[in-house]
Amino acid sequence: MIAIINGKRRKLDVHPMKRLLDVLREDCGLTGTKEGCGEGECGACTVLVDGVAVDSCLVPAAQADGCAIVTIEGVARARSGRALQDAFVKLGGAQCGICTPGMIVAALPLKAGASLDEIKTALAGNLCRCTGYLSIFRSVQAGLRPSREALRPTRKTRVKGKRANAR
Partner 1 sequence: MGRAVGANVRRKDGDAKVTGAAKYIDDISFPGMIFGATIRSTIPHGEIAARHVKLPGGFVVADYHDIPGKNYVALIDPDQPCLAEHIVRHVAEPILLVGHADRPRLIGLEQQVSFEYLERAPIYDPEASDTCFKRISIDKGDLDRGFAEADVVFEGEYRTGHQEQLYIETNGVIAVPGDEQMTVYGSLQCPYYVHKALVVLLGLPPGRVRVVQTETGGGFGGKEEYPSMLACHAAILARKAGRPVKMIYDRVEDLLATTKRHPSIIRHRTGVTRGGRITAMDVEVVMDGGAYATLSAVVLSRGVIHASGPYRCDHIRIRGRAMLTHTPPNGAFRGFGAPQTQFGIEAHMDRLADEIGIDPVKLRELNALKPGDTTATGQTLGKDASALPVLREAVRRSGFREKRRKWRGTTRGIGLSLFFHGSGFTGGGEVKLASKASLELTARGARILVASTEIGQGTRTMHAQIVADALGVPFDDIDVHEVDTDFVPDSGPTVASRTCTIVGKLLERCARDMRKRLGRLSPADYFKKHGSFTVTSQYEPPPNLLWDDEGYKGDAYGSYAWGCNVVELEVDPATFEVRPINVTAVAEIGKAIHPMMAEGQIEGGTAQGLGYALIEEVVMRDGRMANAQLTNYIIPTPLDAAPMKVVMLERPYAYGPFGAKGVGEMPIDGPAPAVINALRHCGYDVRSIPATPERLMNAPRQKAEGKRQKAG
Where on the chain is the footprint of ligand FES (CB under 6 A)? 35-38, 40-45, 55, 57, 94-100, 128-131
Element (H, E) at 83: helix 79-90
Rounded to whole angstroms, the Cα distance separating 167 from 40 reads 5
Q: Interface with partner 1 includes 166 (CB under 8 A)?
A: no
User: In this complex, which beta carbon is closest to ligand FES, that of residue 5 or of residue 24?
Assistant: 24
Of the ranges 58-66, 78-86, 145-153, 156-164, which one interacts with partner 1 (CB under 8 A)?
A: 78-86
Can you point out the beta strands (E) in the chain? Answer: 2-5, 8-11, 46-49, 52-55, 68-70
Interacting residues with partner 1 between 80 and 139 (CB under 8 A) = 84-86, 88-92, 94-101, 104, 120-121, 123-137
According to DSSP, residue 151 is labeled S
Q: Could you tell me the smallest distance in angstroms from the CB atom of residue 113 to partner 1?
A: 19
Rounded to whole angstroms, the Cα distance separating 107 from 148 reads 14
- Which option in partner 1, ligand FES, none does residue 146 bind, with CB closer than 5 to 8 A by kind? none
Name 60's Cβ contacts closer than 8 Å, sequence gap at least 6: 16, 17, 18, 19, 20
Q: Residues interacting with partner 1, by CB under 8 A?
A: 25, 30-39, 41-42, 44, 71-73, 76, 84-86, 88-92, 94-101, 104, 120-121, 123-137
